[in-house]
Amino acid sequence: MIAGMAKTLPRNADVAEQLELLSDILELEGEAAYRLLAYRRAAALVREQPGLVAELALEGKAKELPGIGKTIEGKIVEIVNEGEIRALTKHKALVPPDVVEFTRLPGLGPKTARKIWQELGVTTLADLKAAAKAERLRVLPGIGAKLEERIVKELSGKRKAPEEVRPLLGVGLPAVQAVVTVLRAHPAALEVSDAGSVRRRKETFRDLDIIATASEPAALTDYFTKLRWVEKVAAKGESKATVVSNDGLRFDLRVVPAGLYGNLLQHFTGSKHHNVALREDAVRVGFSVSENGVKDVESGEVFKTGSEEALYEFLGYQYIPPELRENLGELEAARNGELPELVELSDLRGDLHAHSTWSSDGKNSIEEMAAEAKSRGYSYLAITDHSHYLRDGRLEAQAREIEALNETLGRFKLLKGIEVNIRADGSLDVDDETLAGRDWVVASLHTAFDKNPTERVISAMENPNVDCIGHLTARKINRRGPADIDLSRVFETALATKTFLEINSQPDRLDLRDAHARAAGEAGVLLSISSDAHSTRALAYPELGVGQARRAWLTKEQVLNTRTWPQIKKLLG
DNA sequence: GCCGTTTTCGGCCCGACTGTTTTCAGTCG
């Protein structure tokens, strides 16, 4: 690329999408499965990278990522130079676009879609529905009345939203924790745990998984389906049930034999990619791993365990915390005994981003916020009300209130903070002299997210009064995508200017997100985990932020507010 | 197409469920 040439590189999501589409199309053409698997793995990997994989590909460094080789790297370069993978352009012309859509229908996979297309000449969704209605699909071997019926039903329903909305962790986590608590109290229950993506603290989820052992499995399952908030029982057997709650959340309970609890908890915690990689590793040393145990292929002996820890140990790994189980390097690190000791919620000593009624959207007074922070065991709380509500002498009045309260709070300290806006031109909406009088200054983007966001953040960091950047990309999960921030430049500037970055714990922000926070940590940037609370209740949000920090492989040392306020002050220089 | 604590060639996770079948392929997680 020519130096200085402003060329917009494709986002990782776009690269991944092209790789996935290519594999879908090739599969419909009958291509060998393992090439497709390689594309799909590469796509999944690309999605989870913090930096632009396209940039790495241009430098010839994308193939250092496990799962990307010379060929796929070349395809990514094609996306940069020509907008699309050449093979994708070519093969798109060979397979009717609707045939790819066929496979999105539940129960209809690539093999069946291919047969319908090739042998019946059906190429559009409308034709497919008509053929199913006219019972013309059942002439094909392997297709019967049931599938025809299903196709008609699926295609008759109102068009589903193009992308399914996944509920937020902040909604699912308390919900699943409440159900786990209720089930544990049942006399038949022995062990009960959350599982699945929520246990891994992934930012959104599809359903909520619970694993249990019980003296009487049927009794526990039955109790589960009769809890008062259950609106619908979608499936129910002796040891497995699925229910939908009155707020639309899907809960899955599996009651498993005690002797297999470790194997099954591991299996149902996932992620899928982690489990696949773990099983591949095991195959190489002669073990076959499944939810039913670890089988020694040669002797036929099966290792079953009630403990997840024992399972990882048996396979030759350190115990891998659920938050790390994404096949992003944790297996290798665990094999070598190099996993980091992850930060925990109880490590937090204070909160550096919170609002009070001085911000018009705040629900509680400073006094109430302080009492709640104190009761959480914190030794400090930064009140960072929005700058625009603190004009015309209100800032001074607020400061006096904080000072007066500090007289009454013993060793607990309220910090005079402020959250300033980074304007569209990169300047701050509060003058330097005012900022210099505050203990703690957070600067955030709140508007014009597509207007030079990187430059604006950098110019804010270069102001010596700014201590921390709030919610860096300003995304709102399911509502607004992230601003296009050049992370490596931001990290570089953060280190040079001694500015911290935040993991904002608001359920719909979680910003920095996991991959970004991991990259920040690797770059040596310290991160604060803060609530951005606008009410006393929201001071509990850092549980979610700590989840993201753990997914980002962060240790206690890499998190700023595991320190006391005097220690932080020293770092501010 | 990718990759190596046997390997640069010859493998590539595992099982449950479903609908279609008389023994299994395809789909799903």
Fold agreement (A12-92, A97-156):
yes
Q: How far is CA A11 from the centre of its chain?
A: 17
Instruction: Give the pLDDT band of residue A158 (cuts 50, 70, 90).
Output: low
CATH of domain A345-572: 3.20.20.140
CATH topology of domain A261-335: Beta Polymerase; domain 3 (3.30.210)
Q: Taking residues A136-165, what's their average pLDDT?
A: 82
User: Residue A334: its pLDDT value, please?
Assistant: 94
Helices (H), A121-237: 125-133, 145-156, 169-184, 196-199, 217-225
Closest CA to A432 of A472, A395, A469, A463: A463
Q: Rounded CA gap, A378 and A527, in Å? A: 17
User: Residue A3: its pLDDT value, please?
Assistant: 42
Determine if the pTM surpasses 0.75: yes
Question: A361 or A490: whose pLDDT is higher?
Answer: A490
At how many degrees (to 10) do helices A169-184 and A542-551 cross? 100
Cis before A215? omega within 30: no
Percent of chain A scored above 70 by pLDDT? 97
Q: Rounded CA gap, A563 and A347, in Å? A: 9
In the predicted structure, residue A469 carries a pLDDT above the cut 70: yes
Phi, psi of A425 (to 5 degrees): -90, 5
Closest CA to A481 of A492, A493, A473, A489: A473
Q: How far is the CA of A415 from the C1' of B29 (A)?
A: 49
Q: Which nucleotide is nearest to A147 (CA to C1')?
A: B19
Nucleotides of B under 7 A from a protein CB: 1-7, 11-16, 18-21, 25-29
Look up the protein residue whose alpha carbon has the minimum distance to the C1' of B20. A142
Contact A302, A292 (CB under 8 A): yes
User: Residue A360: its pLDDT value, please?
Assistant: 85
The CATH number of A12-92, from 1.10.132.20, 1.10.357.10, 3.30.2420.10, 1.10.150.110, is 1.10.150.110
**Domain parsing of chain A, residue ranges:** 12-92, 97-156, 169-255, 261-335, 345-572
Q: How far is the CA of A311 from the C1' of B1 (A)?
A: 32
User: Residue A159: its pLDDT value, please?
Assistant: 57
Q: Taking residues A406-425, what's their average pLDDT?
A: 96
DSSP string for residues in A191-209 = EEEEEHHHHTT-SB-S-EE
Look up the protein residue whose alpha carbon has the minimum distance to the C1' of B12. A34
Q: Which CATH superfamily is domain A97-156 in?
A: 5' to 3' exonuclease, C-terminal subdomain (1.10.150.20)
CATH of domain A169-255: 3.30.460.10
Contact A203, A548 (CB under 8 A): yes
Return the beta strands (E) in A291-376 as ranges: 293-296, 302-303, 350-354
User: Residue A87: its pLDDT value, please?
Assistant: 95
Q: pLDDT tens digits for A535-557? A: 999 999 999 999 999 999 999 99
Look up the protein residue whose alpha carbon has the minimum distance to the C1' of B15. A290
In the predicted structure, residue A478 carries a pLDDT above the cut 60: yes
Q: How far is the CA of A386 from the C1' of B26 (A)?
A: 57
User: Residue A184: its pLDDT value, please?
Assistant: 96
Instruction: Give the pLDDT band of residue A236 (cuts 50, 70, 90).
Output: confident
Q: Which nucleotide is nearest to A108 (CA to C1')?
A: B27
Q: How far is the CA of A36 from the C1' of B13 (A)?
A: 16
